[in-house]
Amino acid sequence: MPADPVAITADLIRCPSVTPAEGGALTFLEKTLKAAGFTVHRKVFHEPGAEDVENLYARIGTNGPHLTFAGHTDVVPPGEETAWTLPPFSGEVKGGELYGRGAVDMKGGIGCAVAAALDHLAGNGGKPQKDGKGSISFLITGDEESIAVNGTPKLLSWVAEMGETFDHCILGEPSNVNELGDTIKIGRRGSLNGHLIVRGRQGHVAYPHRAVNPIRGLVRLIEALQGEPLDTGSELFPPSHLEFTSVDVGNKTVNLIPGEARARFNIRFNDRHTLDGLKELLHARAKKAAGAEVNFEFMFEPSNAGVFVVKQGPFTDMVVGAISEVTGRKPDLSTSGGTSDARFIAAYCPVVEFGLVGQTMHQVDERVPVKDLTALTGIYRRILGAYFK
């Protein structure tokens, strides 16, 4: 009897794994995958100043080719629970839709991948291929919805230290825009967070000649940094974009010129830039605008969210073919949207993102049509079948 992706997803939803809590979700996956013959590892990683995070790595098979399914079981908070049609951690079906926090992002994707893998193994006598070759694994983190420090990056590093490698990865994030099968993510823009700090000299507002107001300098630099586009885009990506998200002087007194002013910003950048090159460009533009009058400094937050894109070829063609066979749609190959854990995985192997439709993710009444869970499982099954031929 085929594995039931609806039941598996519902069981995951019933685990209140609000980031970074494990909530029982990894325990459920460990039990399910061990029963199918997977070797399962649970790893907790630590980082000063960040919460500990529990992760899971499970593998069946010892040789190549090696296909891994990646994802996260942590979810965002449900918000006001009384606003939900059904309780956010009930995993109940109503009107042909499965409700619950994480139904779309992304316990549904994990549930479908697990169901597809169980079906594939059952057809091969418990092996990735009938001749015993090949490996299937699951790379599941618990902090994707948080700061992503103690999850996928460290789990990938730990797997590499064990001498294991991946050939390809499917990340089950909700990639589709309107209908299942309309979009595959083959790349993502990079993301750079930073602070622009301007230092002046504190003083009384009645005696401005005795002070240097850093707000004036900060405004000048903000205008200069946003006044000229970073680029005009590239073949696969839209133009890079800088956006200031906060300005703060920490001043609660109306008659005091502050000594320092700060602004926080984010840049989503395309493949015409690297992280280091982008930092140099910002500094050069700010220095030109500042002249000798403005004392400024950039502070950049630690980031490994660089640009990545997967080259089209046999692997992407295979995924597109499986989607078309099940849905009748030819998906767009997209690089739009924010960041995901694919940015870490791309350093280890080619990765594509394909999961459910993302319209209700992070919303009250997050839900997924049961038919989409069934269809996504069918797509993953076809990918597995084609991959291990």
**How far apart, in whole angstroms, are the C-alpha atoms of residue 134 and residue 63?**
5
* Residue appearing with tokens 């099954």: 381
- The helix/strand/coil state of 245 is strand
d(CA 108, CA 368): 8
| Cα gap 134→64, rounded to integer Å | 4
* Catalytic-residue membership of 143: no
Catalytic, 4? Answer no
Say which residue the tokens 């006044």 belong to: 227
- Give the type of residue at 272: R
Residue at token pair 């140099």: 280
Which burial class, exposed, middle or buried, applies to 250 when counting CB atoms under 10 A from its CB (0-12, 13-18, 19+)?
A: exposed
Beta strand pairing status for 50-60 and 66-72?
Answer: unpaired
CA atoms within 13 A on the CB side of 206: 1
Go through 210-236 and write b for each residue having 16 or more CB atoms within 10 A of its CB, e for each that does not: ebbbbbebbebbbeebeeeebbeebee
Q: Which two tokens stand for residue 229?
A: 């586009």
Token reading at 62: 């010892």
Coil, helix or strand for 178? coil
Rg (CA), the chain: 24
| Of residues 199, 212, 217, the one with CA closest to residue 257 | 212
Tell me if the bond preceding 162 is cis, omega within 30° of 0. no
Q: Are 68 and 137 in contact (CB under 8 A)?
A: yes
Q: Which one from 105, 144, 173, 353 is the annotated catalytic residue?
A: 144
Q: How many other C-beta atoms are found inside a 10 Å radius of the C-beta of residue 302?
A: 8
Cα torsion for 365, 360, 327, 11, to the nearest 10°? -50
Exactly one of 22, 54, 74, 341 is catalytic; name it: 74
Which active-site residues does the annotation give?
Answer: 74, 144
